[in-house]
Structure 1
Amino acid sequence: MLQTRPVSGAPKPYTFPKPQRLRVGGGTVLAIDVPGQQFAAVRLVQPSGGITEPLDRMGVATLTGESLEDGVTGDSSLAPALERHGAEWVARVTWDSFVTGVDAPISRIADATKLFAEAVRTPALRPDDVLRRRDQLLERFWLEASMASTLATRAIGGQLFTGRYATPLNGGPVRLQSVTPELVADFHSHSVAAVAGTLVVVGDLTGVDLAELGATVFGDASDVPAPTPSAPDSAPGELPRIVVLDRPGSVQSALILAHRAPSRSEIDLPRADGMSDVLGGMFTSRLNNELRERLGYTYGVGCRFDLRRDSGVFLVSTQVEAPTTAHSITATLAQIEKLQADGVTDAELSAVRESNTVGLPVTYSTARSLAAALVESVVHDLPEDHVDRLRAGFERVTADDLTQAARDYLHPRESVVIVAGDASQIEGELREVGHGPVVVHDPETLWA
């Protein structure tokens, strides 16, 4: 017998849980008690990200993060040791952070954290293991770069920045090849083992000794502050411009329109993200409606901000059929111009508010998602209630705010359009787009 569909009620207000904070040795423990959550997320956040690498050691942070999984005895020993406690290793290196940790049952959190701490502080780092991990990263680099969208994304840094950001986070194939086991050991000793960091713990913390967990992870490591942000220089070259990464025979083109943006601390996130949602961040966005629904050029298009401590990037990305490449660019530019000129509608404003507020209880329903929010607050020096502040910002943002954000944060005449596709098919029409000069590159020479 069919039942009557329930009627949805008004959205319930959401407040992000208030974390506990305590100092343990040289580090800080930041914890959220979630009664009933029997699977915990434990994360160690250290300021040893890719931006801290010397230019002659690019990729050493990523390779070190990969090598820690070989554990204290080497040969990928950490994962099976953790599995005996129902735990899983976590490692993620970003431009601004070196994050490691475990997801584990609360009943085994002490044992799992001890294994994780040993792997971080005293890994074997056997030369053979490090070289094996390096070879795997190199193989993965070219495997992933065989996808046009990944290739185009990895080219953004070299088109917008000089210095470290000009090379991919993992160092790229040439730089990474020169990272030796000795350099990994040195980076680990000075930037990981000796740095206390912040320990994030989320789960049902009844009976959990947070001070003991902190002492296990921090040991005698020191309190090392994150480097002071300093905006990187821009890459040389005329703006705007179009860069073609030649992929002979490709029947599709991967498109990215990218330009520099403010850093995480400098941007008004509700205004910026709300505007980005209207342009290309939601399925009902203007770019998706134009390129997918009306023109039928793509399965989907998106845009977002990639925000770091010292700078940021705004990018629009999609994949289209090769013959539609040039028109896809002009259509995208036209939608940006229209948004800046005509502004945001009330219906779009309503969609932005609902998208960024109604679903928060689901967004932060797991230990992992709560831990991720705390990690972000540590990396970017955000207040502990930054999630609540974001929610409040979205609740009070207006259509005029989003319109002004489009004018403040979108700079198409300062952008680079990167196209991964068959230059012989598309170069001529791209020169007629009027978006600056067109330069063609062999992808294999990009990071040489």
Structure 2
Amino acid sequence: MTTATPPRPSPSPGPHPRPAEAAVAALASLVPDRPAPAPARPWVFPAPRELRLGNALRVRHIARPGHRLAAVGLFLDVPLDAEPDGLDGICELASRALQEGSTALHGPRFAAEIERCGATFDSIAGPHGIAIALQAPRSRLERVLDLLADTLHAPAFPPHEVSRLRAQRLDEIGHEHSTPHLRAFLALQSALYDPAQRISRPAAGTRATVARIDHTAVRTFYDAHARPATATAVVAADLPAEELTGLLERTLGRWAAPAGPPTPVHAPHTADDRTRLVVVDRPGAVQSTLMVGRHGLDRHAPTWPAQSIGIHCLGGGLTSRLDQVLRERRGYTYGITACAQPLRSGAVVSIGGAVHTAATAPAVSEIFEVLHSLPAGLSHGERTSAVNNLVQVAPLQYQTAVSTVKAVVRATAERLPADYLSTIHARLAAVTAPEATRAVVSAFPPDRLVVVAVGDAASITAPLEALGLGPLTVLGP
């Protein structure tokens, strides 16, 4: 008997496309030649155009087409080295008092006018001098620069406001005294540099020195050092150079003061170049704040790019050697970093982080073990990761007018060459792993470091001494 073969089922037509997908497909068919992405353009830091006003004020202009918000930075060559003996902190008080306005308009009326313009006005003092920062809509820029010019030419420095700022600063000193990482940095500076040098003492002064400062001292100090001939204005705005020049002549060009040379830059002298330990006592503290450092090279040094790459490999992120050992492997800390902080001359290169009290001496030991391992060489992968972090993020880092102005003001304060910012990223990218290795080894020689530990001296002093790194000093709470 023959069995009939059942008919094969018809092939399934499959699921019908959803209406949205069909619409997208139909639209795509209308544009068959969709343009391909353009190749990435190389990024270079925008080179400022330099000009001089009639009063000798140097101006650096950065064009920002399409930006409605303008940013202005003004650097005054009034460094900490210029402070009179016994008046440490007067530079900081002068910078804050400038925010109170001019003799023509000051106090709440000055603040209200700045706010009415939709602007911001800030100032800060550092080792290089005083930096003033403004932001304003392009349409209100001239009015804000008028206010700044009046303030520079005839600052108010009201006695009652200077007294208020002095009291505020005295309160801050108490807060800083109880902040572990600030205590660590101040102790490191004090240990590194000759006590006779200004850099060895707190930048914003001590209780004794700040208490002596009054409005007369602030005005005398400002008049002696603030002048257009040694100042620099940095402007990032959507303005043609000719229009900006006229605007600045009408505003900042009105600032007048006797001419004078820039203040000299003196290299600081280290007090003691041997490895040693300093414990700052914080009785009962459950963790210790560590800072390991020395005096190093500044951004003028030819090896700065290599040092930057090497320091990033050492302690620049979660993949750095220090973080891999102290955070990931040992669990001593939430994070530890290495950095170089440029000063008026040279820099403080340091390693810093917080660890629980019982891990203080083991953590210091591990830091030195990592430093001893560096001469074996950084890997090409470590070097590449550091370059990517420092170079490839630059276009994002400087995408705003404010960030661009800050970078130029800082470069001006450090008296760097005009092409520094436009060439530094190419120099960083060209650093090789051996070059980075040599630079970081030179930056952190294990026998030439000061180790500061801010913590419970009763618990950490003996274990630290047992490491045998050098003499140990205990400072009171």
- Which whole-Å CA distance do the structure 2 matches of 1:298 and 1:93 have between them? 32
Q: Give the C-alpha shift of residue 208 in structure 1.
A: 4.0
2:371–2:441 contact (8 Å) kept in structure 1: no
Please point out which of 43, 51, 55 is paired with 2:73: 43
- Which whole-Å CA distance do the structure 2 matches of 1:113 and 1:394 have between them? 37
Q: Give the C-alpha shift of residue 198 in structure 1.
A: 1.0
> Aligned in 2, Cα 1:355/1:225: closer, same or farther, shift over 3 Å?
farther
Percent of pairs identical after alignment?
Answer: 29
**Residue in 1 aligned with 2:152?**
120
Long gaps (5+) in structure 1: 444-448
- Name the count of aligned residue pairs: 438
2:346 matched to 1:317?
Answer: no
Q: Give the C-alpha shift of residue 81 in structure 1.
A: 1.9
**TM-score normalized by structure 2?**
0.87
1:19–1:31 contact (8 Å) kept in structure 2: yes
Amino acid at match of 2:457: A
Report the secondary structure of 2:99's partner residue: helix
Return the index of the structure with the highest Cα Rg: 2
Amino acid at match of 2:172: R
> Aligned in 2, Cα 1:233/1:383: closer, same or farther, shift over 3 Å?
closer
2:270 matched to 1:234?
Answer: yes
Describe the superposition over 1:350-392 as per-residue Cα deviations: whole angstroms up to 9, x where unpaired: 1111112211211110001111121123112223331231111
1:164-313 mapped onto 2 (5 Å cutoff): 164-192=198-226, 197-206=231-240, 208-218=243-253, 219-236=255-272, 239-266=274-301, 268-313=303-348
Please point out which of 402, 410, 420 is paired with 1:376: 410
- Which whole-Å CA distance do the structure 1 matches of 2:268 and 2:345 have between them? 7
Q: Give the C-alpha shift of residue 55 in structure 1.
A: 2.7
- Which whole-Å CA distance do the structure 2 matches of 1:346 and 1:257 have between them? 26
Q: Give the C-alpha shift of residue 34 in structure 1.
A: 0.8
- Which whole-Å CA distance do the structure 2 matches of 1:352 and 1:49 have between them? 33
2:405 matched to 1:405?
Answer: no
Amino acid at match of 2:113: A
Amino acid at match of 1:90: D
**Residue in 1 aligned with 2:15?**
none
**Residue in 2 aligned with 1:446?**
none
Describe the superposition over 1:301-334 as per-residue Cα deviations: whole angstroms up to 9, x where unpaired: 1111111232221111000100000011010111
Amino acid at match of 1:106: R
> Aligned in 2, Cα 1:194/1:352: closer, same or farther, shift over 3 Å?
closer
Deviates more, 1:298-307 or 1:10-19: 10-19
2:125–2:131 contact (8 Å) kept in structure 1: yes
**TM-score normalized by structure 1?**
0.92
Please point out which of 430, 433, 440 is paired with 1:396: 430
Describe the superposition over 1:277-302 as per-residue Cα deviations: whole angstroms up to 9, x where unpaired: 00001221111111111111111111
> Aligned in 2, Cα 1:267/1:54: closer, same or farther, shift over 3 Å?
farther
1:88–1:103 contact (8 Å) kept in structure 2: yes
1:327-342 mapped onto 2 (5 Å cutoff): 327-339=362-374, 341-342=375-376
Q: Give the C-alpha shift of residue 71 in structure 1.
A: 1.6
> Aligned in 2, Cα 1:412/1:270: closer, same or farther, shift over 3 Å?
same
**Residue in 2 aligned with 1:148?**
180
Q: Give the C-alpha shift of residue 58 in structure 1.
A: 1.2
- Which whole-Å CA distance do the structure 1 matches of 2:318 and 2:289 have between them? 19
Describe the superposition over 1:224-277 as per-residue Cα deviations: whole angstroms up to 9, x where unpaired: 4432222122225x7211111100010010000011112332352210110110
Q: Give the C-alpha shift of residue 8 in structure 1.
A: 11
1:78–1:119 contact (8 Å) kept in structure 2: no
Report the secondary structure of 2:226's partner residue: helix
Please point out which of 13, 34, 56 is paired with 2:42: 13
1:29–1:214 contact (8 Å) kept in structure 2: no
2:140 matched to 1:105?
Answer: no
**Runs of 4+, deviation exceeding 6 Å:** 7-10
> Aligned in 2, Cα 1:55/1:283: closer, same or farther, shift over 3 Å?
farther
Describe the superposition over 1:148-204 as per-residue Cα deviations: whole angstroms up to 9, x where unpaired: 112111222211112101111101222212222221110111112575511110021
Indicate the RMSD between aligned Cα atoms, in angstroms: 2.2
Amino acid at match of 1:108: R
